[in-house]
Amino acid sequence: MTLTETSAVMPERIATKRTVLMCRPEFFTVVYRINPWKDPAIPTDTSLAVAQWQTLYDTYIGLGFDVQLIDPVDGLPDMVYAANGGFIIDNIAYGASFTHPERQPEGPAYMDWFAANDFDVRAPQNINEGEGDFLLVGGVILAGTGFRSASNSHAELAGIYGREVVTLNLVNPNFYHLDTAIAVLDDTNIAYLESAFDEQSLVTLRALFPDAILATEEDAAVLGLNSYSDGYNVVIASRAKDFERQLRERGYNPIGVDLSELLLGGGGVKCCTLELRR
């Protein structure tokens, strides 16, 4: 049995209220290069980043989400990418341990917030970058490795949550986190970019999700897959036009936002969004 729709009739897409954590990009800039998207030689506009982020925040509020905020920290320009700050299921917050020294202070900052907000915090024993590489689909956790999160964090994850963890190997440095190459649409459906994965991972994805949306290279190149869904409304990069079309054909309601300034740091909609599952 697969994690996919078994009926030939398209089911009704149902929106469910979400609780998410975000971080205002008050200190956003690009001063170091730790992914192919970043180039310190290209100027960034912090005020524009804040304005674009505010549109995303307002979109979530308009959808009825409960949006929590963590205070940004001066000197941590990537803290806006809240998805990397941890992974939360059943009120258990598995903390992040970042690969690059520039981002490592973010891990404790997020764990402090989790503890202050009554989550059961588990300090990581292995390198992992939170919900950037861990995606919950129904009862299964898809876990990425290859560039950031270490594969041994997957066993740690399984032990903490007692859920099946499916390892997927990323091979394209432009899609260095799993959430840049896979979009979770609801408990049984995803979209993904085939060229981001090795062959064994593609075999796994095709078996689990034979009816998945396959994204174009063009849409992936604007981080179109780095989106966030409540089961019906899917907030995506406004430039991901074919992905928008495919979502509408499947009965979802795509909502485009422009996060082009934050794309200069290698992040999009999902990067700015950490789901808090109590």
| Catalytic position from the list 23, 154, 177, 272 | 177
| Catalytic position from the list 23, 154, 271, 272 | 271
**Residue in the block written with tokens 């959430």:** 179
State the Cα–Cα distance between residues 124 and 185, nearest whole angstrom: 28
Kindly give the confidence (pLDDT) of every residue in the chain, 278 residues in length, as a single tens digit, with 9 standing for 90 and above.
455 544 457 789 999 999 999 999 999 999 888 888 789 999 999 999 999 999 999 999 999 999 999 999 999 999 999 999 999 999 999 999 999 999 999 999 999 999 999 999 999 999 999 999 999 999 999 999 999 999 999 999 999 999 999 999 999 999 999 999 999 999 999 999 999 999 999 999 999 999 999 999 999 999 999 999 999 999 999 999 999 999 999 999 999 999 999 999 999 999 999 999 99
* Three-state secondary structure of 6-72: CCCCCCCCCCCCCEEEECCCCCCCCCCCCCCCCCCCCCCCHHHHHHHHHHHHHHHHHCCCEEEECCC
CA distances from 41 to 25, 33, 96, 152 (A): 19, 10, 29, 35
- The answer to whether 177 is a known catalytic residue is yes
What is the pTM for the complete model shown?
A: 0.95
Question: What is the pLDDT at residue 10?
Answer: 76
- List, in order of start, the domains of the chain with CATH numbers: 19-275 (3.75.10.10)
- The answer to whether 23 is a known catalytic residue is no
